[in-house]
């Protein structure tokens, strides 16, 4: 039972929310389900070069993911604090962003 709850909160909720986020940005939602491809999808959503994937090498990964979360929040007109929520509590904030009325802003801030 614990494994099922962990799967639900740690993977399924962020994946469903991510699907909606990608769809809001005019991208296929299924990108959220594919582990490495979703990073490239986030970079495309942010309008960054795919060379930014180098920022996700192991020593830099936490910083790059935090920065990406804040930039995603900005792209949807949310605050940096909301971006921190995307990073620290994705099972709450990713579905919240995906199913909210927030619209994708191509220019970010």
34 is a domain residue: yes
How many structural domains is the chain composed of?
1
List the domain range (segments joined by +) for residue 84: 2-99
User: Is 107 among the domain residues?
Assistant: no
Q: Determine the Cα–Cα distance for residues 30 and 18; give it in Å rounded to an integer.
A: 9
pTM of the model: 0.90
17 part of a folded domain: yes
Q: For the chain, which residues score pLDDT lower than 50?
A: none
Q: For residue 9, what pLDDT is reported? A: 74
Helical axes 61-75 vs 80-88, angle rounded to 10°: 130
Assess if residue 84 is contained within a domain: yes
């Amino acid at each position: 039972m614990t494994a099922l709850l962990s799967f639900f909160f740690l993977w399924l909720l962020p994946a469903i929310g991510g699907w909606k986020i990608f769809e809001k940005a005019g991208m296929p939602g299924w990108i959220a389900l594919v582990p490495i491809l979703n990073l490239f999808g986030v970079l495309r959503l942010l309008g960054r070069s795919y060379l930014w994937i180098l920022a996700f090498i192991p020593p830099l990964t936490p910083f790059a993911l935090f920065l990406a979360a804040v930039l995603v929040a900005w792209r949807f007109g949310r605050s940096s604090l909301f971006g921190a929520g995307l990073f620290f509590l994705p099972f709450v904030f990713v579905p919240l962003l995906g199913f909210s009325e927030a619209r994708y802003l191509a220019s970010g801030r």
